[in-house]
């Protein structure tokens, strides 16, 4: 069984920073790509940032230059450093990981979500 446990969300004023963490645990063979998604009320869930197993990152245009995704493969953990936060960044942020299990098949898992609220 696989679990993704997130932490680091909270309330911050515009211009502030938060760092999100997501640790993967359970019976896995390896972790492929990992990423962060977010969903604001009344909006679709959108990709914020993703990172390959080789630590190659990609970002949504709306967060480029402000957010940094990274991963520690030894700790099975992905991070999202969020700087210069804006009110429009307010959303529930979800960790995502594509995981290869011992069977050799790949599956996508989601974290429970963590609320990020940015006040003006």
CA-based nearest residue to 47, from 94, 12, 109: 94
Judge residue 92's burial from the number of C-beta atoms within 10 Å of its C-beta, 0-12 exposed, 13-18 middle, 19 or more buried.
middle
| Alpha-carbon distances of 84 from 11, 16, 58, rounded to whole Å | 14, 5, 18
Question: Number of helices (H) and strands (E), helices first, in the chain?
Answer: 0, 11
Can you give the pLDDT at residue 1?
A: 87
Q: What is the pLDDT along the chain (120 residues), one digit of tens a residue?
A: 899 999 999 999 999 999 999 999 999 999 999 999 999 999 999 999 999 999 999 999 999 999 999 999 999 999 999 999 999 999 999 999 999 999 999 999 999 999 999 999
Can you give the pLDDT at residue 22?
A: 98
Can you give the pLDDT at residue 40?
A: 97
């Amino acid at each position: 069984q696989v679990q993704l446990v997130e932490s680091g969300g909270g309330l911050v004023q515009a211009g502030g920073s938060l760092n999100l963490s997501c640790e993967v645990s359970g019976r896995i063979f390896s972790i492929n790509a990992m990423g962060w998604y977010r969903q604001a009320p009344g909006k679709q869930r959108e990709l914020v940032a993703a990172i390959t197993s080789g630590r190659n990152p990609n970002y949504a245009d709306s967060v480029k230059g402000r957010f940094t995704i990274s991963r520690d493969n030894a700790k099975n953990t992905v991070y999202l450093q969020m700087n210069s936060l804006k009110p429009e960044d307010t959303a529930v942020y979800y960790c995502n990981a594509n995981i290869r299990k011992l069977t050799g098949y790949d599956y996508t898992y989601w974290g429970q979500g963590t609320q990020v609220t940015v006040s003006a």
